[in-house]
Amino acid sequence: MNKILCVILAGGRGSRFGSPLKFLTHVCGKPLIEKLLTDIEIVCRYTVIALSKRTLDAVHVCKNKHYIAECVETSGEDLVHDLALLLEMFPKPLLVVGADIYMTNNKILIDFIDRALKTEENVVTLVVNNDGEKLVGITLFKKSYGSWRNITYPKNSVMDIDDYDDLKRVERECHQF
């Protein structure tokens, strides 16, 4: 598989969690963003972390010697605005991942990218089956807009940490692996 360009969205408000820097929270012994960067490097030839004014205090994550990442600043106005800007800036295919994502096994990402690139749809989103499909914040854009498809994975294979209950659930999961 050819590696692709990846963008991590790390400029949100974090209002449900209580901090825009929730991706710096330690999960399973290390900051969530560090685990995410390690997990996605298997599919990413280069990673860009999109920060905003609210999260610029985390710019140090782009200076870590264990992975290659560049930080860019977006307005942080809202997800749609920032995503539109990033989709305009970067070539496709482009993997966009929320900074608050925890994967139990990064091989899911390999499978997702492989399956997504084989579909006819332009936008492919990874969802998990939590008694119904739930978006988790991982999307492959082959074009900036157009036809859309979901690819579903099992419950708890990929988790989106929105609040402290989600963080507790992830902590329980990581101790099982």
Write the DSSP symbol of residue 163.
S
pLDDT at 107 over 60: yes
Structure tokens at 64: 């870590």
Residue 173 burial (10 A CB sphere; 0-12, 13-18, 19+): middle
The pLDDT value given to residue 175: 64
Structure tokens at 127: 């969802």
Residue boundaries of the structural domains of the chain: 4-174
Number of C-beta neighbours around residue 36 at 10 A: 26
User: What does the alpha-carbon distance between residue 29 and residue 177 come to, in Å, rounded to a whole number?
Assistant: 13
CATH architecture of 4-174: Alpha-Beta Complex (3.90)
Q: What tens digit of pLDDT does each residue of 69-96 get?
A: 888 999 888 889 999 999 999 999 999 9
